[in-house]
Amino acid sequence: MAIDTKKCVGCSDCVVACQTENDVPIGHCRDWVVEVMDGTYPQLEIELRSERCNHCKNSPCVRCCPTGASHYSDGGIVLVTKNECIGCSACITSCPYDARYVHPDGYVDKCTFCLHRVKKGMQPACVAVCPTKCMYFGDLDDPGSEVSEVLKKRKYKTLIPEAGTKPQLYFLI
Amino acid sequence: MKSRRQFLKISSLSAAGLVFGGGLLETFADNLLKNNQSYFKGPYDFARTPTYCEVCFWKCAGWVHKDENGRIKKIIGNDDDPNCNGRFCPRGTGGVGMYFDRDRLKTPLIRTDVRGKQSFREATWDEAFDYIASKMNKIKEEHGPECTALFTHGSGGKYFGNLLKGFGSNNIAAPSYAQCRGPREVAFLATFGQGINSPENTDIRDTKCLVLIGSHLGENMHNGQVQEMSDAIDKGTTIITVDPRFSTVAGKSKHWLPIKPSTDIALLLSWMNVIINEELFDKKYVEKYTFGFDLLKAYVQPFTPEWAYGITTIKPQQIRDTAHEMANAAPAVIVHPGRHVTWYGDDTQRLRAVAILNALLGSWGRRGGFYNPEKASVPHFHLPDFPKPNKNWRDAMGGKYKLADLALASGVCQATIPSPEMSCSIKGWIVNGTNLINTLPDQKKTIAAIQALDLLVVVDTMPMEITGYADVVLPECTYLERYDSLRISQGRVPSIALRMPAVDPLYNTKPAFWMARELAKKLDLLQYFPFETIEEEIDWELKQVGSSLEEMQRIGVKLLDREADDLYFGEDEDVEFNTNTGKIELYSTALEEEGFDPFPVFTQHPEPDSGFYRLIYGRAPMHTFSRTANNPNLTDLMDENSVWVNPKVAKVWDLKNDQYVYLENQDGVISDFKIKVRITERIRWDSVYMVHGFGHADKRMTRAFGKGVSDTQMITNVMIDPIMGGTGMRGNFVTFRFDNKKAEV
């Protein structure tokens, strides 16, 4: 997934859409918005980012999960199998992006890239709802996909690359 | 950078409270499942039900989806709707929270104690209507039917409006005029003979230069405009933002002009000066379509960028550069008229300056400027003539504000306070879907008017502050539980949209149509409600335009053909403008006739005393006015406002981030509640900023009560626009207090 920080207005629509799509209980979230401001009045810069699980290629959460509940699924999407999760929270501690939370029902929950929608050929809920169309989702292995195209054209960054997790969330800057 | 945990801490309740809250909501739903089967079943067997959103005035059309138990799950935009293009904003997506909010009004209430104390008894609908009808008839007998008024902001307004007009009054006002967009309508009417209306006819999609003056698109989530702005950013459109605050869109702008507040007219005049003197204006357009250019040219001569620099603090070079940007993009340039524009009392003149600038650049009626919108003409069923009122609220205005093309909510309020000069003060109000306590500035005045009433009826879904003053509260079901009149929006293509119930109403709540019609029965006005149900009325209307209720239930939105191919002016087309001269009036003869300046004049406005800061307020993308402050989904994103303070100011006051303070304004009004300090470079040192709509004082709104400060409470100095009666609200100054004790007298 690629997210255009130049277009994001930080409205948090992605957060609400995810909550209603995935029955995320109020008070928790699978995605969230970060605002970074730099400079002194009036020389200022601002970056807005919609963040979520980075679906890392080298995921510490998958590695540290004692039951195998955290795993790689179709297309490299990192998932948690609810009924295999014992809620030990080792994954939460290991994740440098703080992308996971403990669901009130006792298991660890996080972004699934809306795999249930993607399988039907739909976009993840956050991508589909975004009023600024700042998110691009697709197959990074397919050089012709929209997300690959946009990454070819634009400058981008990943978050905390030094953690070595090979994150799959790209921020266009 | 904020981590996720910090974000949650900042934007939500404490983590523990949140978990608890989520749990409660589920228990609530479980109980409903057990106790109220009809909540889940209902007669509506639709996988998705069409609606248009009621969280704000943009009225995006969408689909309500239910889960396998028939419980509302989510709302998604309708792909065919030009207002939203299939994408709802956070408030629309979170609209489900209006339905699930446990604090909703649940049954009719009749007051048992003095106004302002939330002391009510539950009543039956019949009792409530009898009470209202007998009071209304008494007012009619003693004072005349004209002494009643309707304030409305919401879809049910049409039916209460017909009720009131049938009763014999035309005092029907929406705070969206005199407290919001009124000056812009009057200014554009005076200049182009045509208002802006809603959604705005700004052609952002195709513009090359977008100029925003205090308009914070992206924080105000006017959906279609935000979408088009985002597309424009993709295409490399130049954005110029004028704002004392580094707004979200300022962060996306090529030029940010951090103007000294209240000096916008000086900047606008200097832009005209540059564009005229450097001959950057659209000569052919100006010659063919406008009136008064030579007078304008002479008038703007003194207003050089150097003159404006001393007033606005914007450097002359930056004024010239941005003028050149506009001229280079012309006519595909939009000097945006904004929406909430009642700031300093000279707002019509400021918006006139905006209109004149657009005329010089030739953007009105041109691609990438302002298009000519079209609205579907859907015939209404012919009602018998309404009785002609002998008087109305304007009588209390002493002949002022003649150019106001709609009723002033503040004027109706004024006409309610008895005074010896007035033949009639208004005695009865029906307030539909607008929380006047937080909507009209100068709360003391609003409450004085309310205390002078014989009858106050409030129709709402939530126990907003205004309901605390009501004699009768009528609980409306939410938009997800009712039909409403068709949405007939203006746009590039005329469209209509249907709202129908996705589920049966929760509790003992009812739609406005039913309420108004039942009241009409009691008042013997049934002739103004010829259809027994709203479905029949909608179906009749739809059949007049070749559709039907059945079709709209399937498609939700229908685009109609434009009647003429006139989205933009044709090459060298002769255009007759609806002004006195038939031209675009750079020099306004209409304003001159009424004794006002025909050109905008810059006036100095008062500045804050030492230790005080100008109060600037605005919007957050996840809230609409004060009406969403208790919505469980949206308070989860933002449950209180904060006061933005420049670090220099914070240093003087020794303020820390996240510290809570009270505010006191120039008139000694101390805020009821505390507000969190946000120290940020994003605001000027002479101003503070907060998001409007917080600091609710009604305990029945459990999530919103006491959260943040109400900017409305701090707005006691109201600068009235002499042209159209708009209530300028940016002339208020606040200071910080560490307690809320009143000074000893």
Q: Tell which residue, B358, B523, B471, B368, has the closest CA to residue B120.
A: B471
Q: What confidence score (pLDDT) does residue A153 get? A: 95
- Distance, C-alpha B660 to centroid of its chain: 29
Q: What confidence score (pLDDT) does residue B628 get? A: 96
Whether residue B279 has pLDDT greater than 50: yes
B43 CB-side CA count, 13 A: 4
pLDDT grade, residue B744 (50/70/90)?
A: low
> A116 vs A21, A150, B635, CA distance in Å?
10, 25, 28
The interface predicted TM-score of the complex, written ipTM, equals 0.96
CB of A32 within 8 Å of any CB in chain B?
A: yes
Whether residue B493 has pLDDT greater than 90: yes
Q: What confidence score (pLDDT) does residue B35 get? A: 39
Kindly list the residues from chain B whose CB atom is less than 8 angstroms away from the CB atom of residue A87.
none
Q: What confidence score (pLDDT) does residue A74 get? A: 86
Please tell me the distance from the alpha carbon of residue B75 to that of residue A21, in angstroms, as a whole number: 9
Q: Tell me what the mean pLDDT of segment B535-552 comes to.
A: 97
> B127 vs A65, A143, B122, B130, B243, CA distance in Å?
63, 69, 10, 5, 52
Selecting from B93, B251, B685 the residue whose C-beta is nearest the C-beta of A16 gives: B93
Q: What angle do CA B448, B55, B81 make, to 5 degrees?
A: 140
CATH of domain B192-373+573-593: 3.40.228.10
CB of A149 within 8 Å of any CB in chain B?
A: no
Q: What confidence score (pLDDT) does residue B3 get? A: 36
Q: Do B622 and A97 touch (CB under 8 A)?
A: no
Q: Å from B663 to nearest chain A CA?
A: 24
Give chain B's mean pLDDT.
Answer: 92
Please tell me the distance from the alpha carbon of residue B718 to that of residue B729, in angstroms, as a whole number: 5
Q: What confidence score (pLDDT) does residue B207 get? A: 98
Scan for tokens 């707005």, then name that residue.
B715
- For A119-173, the pLDDT digits (tens) are 999 999 999 999 999 999 999 999 999 999 999 999 999 999 999 999 999 999 9
Whether residue B42 has pLDDT greater than 90: no
- For B346-396, the pLDDT digits (tens) are 999 999 999 999 999 999 999 999 999 999 999 999 999 999 999 999 988
Which segment of A3-7, A111-115, B570-574 scores lowest on mean pLDDT? B570-574
Please tell me the distance from the alpha carbon of residue B728 to that of residue B618, in angstroms, as a whole number: 14
Give, as one character, the DSSP assignment of residue A36. Answer: E
Tokens, residue B509: 């709540």
Among residues of chain B, what percentage have pLDDT more than 90?
A: 88
Q: What confidence score (pLDDT) does residue B743 get? A: 59
- For B47-90, the pLDDT digits (tens) are 799 999 999 999 999 999 999 899 999 999 999 999 999 999 99
Domain residues of chain A, as ranges?
2-172
Whether residue B148 has pLDDT greater than 50: yes
Q: Do B681 and A20 touch (CB under 8 A)?
A: no
Q: What confidence score (pLDDT) does residue B46 get? A: 58
Query: What is the layout of strands, in order, in the sheet containing B557-559?
Result: B374-375, B487-491, B495-497, B557-559
CB of A25 within 8 Å of any CB in chain B?
A: yes
- For B214-273, the pLDDT digits (tens) are 999 999 999 999 999 999 999 999 999 999 999 999 999 999 999 999 999 999 999 999
Topology of domain B613-737 in CATH is Barwin-like endoglucanases (2.40.40)
- For B630-641, the pLDDT digits (tens) are 999 999 999 999
Please tell me the distance from the alpha carbon of residue B435 to that of residue B626, in angstroms, as a whole number: 8
Orientation angle between helical segments B264-277 and B347-361, nearest 10 degrees: 20
Please tell me the distance from the alpha carbon of residue B475 to that of residue B514, in angstroms, as a whole number: 12
> B437 vs B116, B307, B625, CA distance in Å?
11, 41, 12
Domain residues of chain B, as ranges?
1-35, 192-373+573-593, 613-737
Selecting from B19, B73, B685 the residue whose C-beta is nearest the C-beta of A20 gives: B73
Kindly list the residues from chain A whose CB atom is less than 8 angstroms away from the CB atom of residue B633.
16, 19-20, 26
> Please, what CATH class does the domain formed by A2-172 belong to?
alpha beta
pLDDT grade, residue B398 (50/70/90)?
A: confident
What does DSSP say about strands B109-111 and B472-475: parallel, antiparallel, or unpaired? antiparallel
Q: Do A48 and B223 touch (CB under 8 A)?
A: no
Q: What confidence score (pLDDT) does residue B25 get? A: 38
Kindly list the residues from chain B whose CB atom is less than 8 angstroms away from the CB atom of residue A128.
76, 86-87
Please tell me the distance from the alpha carbon of residue B374 to that of residue B385, in angstroms, as a whole number: 28
Whether residue B97 has pLDDT greater than 90: yes
Helix locations, B452-544, DSSP H: 512-522, 534-544
pLDDT grade, residue B741 (50/70/90)?
A: confident
Residue B179 contacts residue B582 (beta carbons within 8 Å): no
Q: What confidence score (pLDDT) does residue B117 get? A: 81
